[in-house]
Amino acid sequence: MYRQQTAKNVEIRALSVDTPEHEARCERCGTSCHAAVHVPDGRQVVVEDLHCKYLVRDALQGGLWTCSVYQNRLEVAPWCHHVSSAEPLNMLRVDCPYTVFARGGNNEQAKVKLSEAEYALVFDAVAEAVLAVKSANPNFSYSSFFASAQRRDPSYVWSLRRNAVGTRAQVVRRKTWWYTVKTTLTNAFARNR
């Protein structure tokens, strides 16, 4: 779900790591911890409600995102990237302060978080891209994404199919029972007219 850096000779300034100044750059938007897929217009769009299982909303901080295992995240969550490796891999937000600091400006290849209206317009492409991933991260929180996807298109039920040992997963969807019955009845009535 993440694109590797393709631009040659992109010069990235060294990020001062884990200092108070470094930590203060984070706006706690949660974008780096969300999955992202490419849509037909070439943008890398954040998949709403599909994120690392350790990413939670902090009610005491006005609903900002926080990592529940932040101090030990790189040991507890081996799929996690420190900002110094996430930035060159385009895993941060287009206008993330870490990107602006490292590159001296926005990274147009990085993730884009869309408005609700924009996301609704590209949701079908997002859904198809999520379904096309043959080996999804089994450590992401899928239940919120499935509920959100079903609200957007109630004709499908979404689920996660895991391999026998639980190391790989694939998102799947199937038509709901009611949608199948409704479609069958609608087609039958149309033929009998």
Q: Where are the alpha helices (DSSP H) in 1-135?
A: 20-24, 73-76, 83-86, 97-103, 116-132
- DSSP, collapsed to helix, strand or coil, labels residue 38 as strand
> Residue 50 in contact with residue 126, Cβ under 8 Å?
no
Using only C-alpha atoms, what is the Rg of the chain? 19
Q: Which pTM value belongs to this model?
A: 0.79
Q: What is the pLDDT of residues 143-190, one digit of tens each?
A: 999 999 999 988 899 999 988 887 788 999 998 888 778 778 888 888
How many angstroms separate the CA atoms of 108 and 99, rounded? 10
Average pLDDT, the chain: 85
Instruction: Identify the pLDDT of residue 1.
Output: 43
Backbone phi and psi for residue 89, each to the nearest 5 degrees, phi listed first:
-90, 10
> Residue 156 in contact with residue 175, Cβ under 8 Å?
yes
Q: Residues in the chain with pLDDT < 70?
A: 1-17
Please report how the helices 143-152 and 116-132 are oriented relative to each other, as an axis angle in degrees rounded to 10.
120
Integer angstrom CA distances of residue 131 from 34, 113, 152, 175: 16, 20, 16, 14
Instruction: Identify the pLDDT of residue 17.
Output: 61
Domain locations along the chain: 20-191
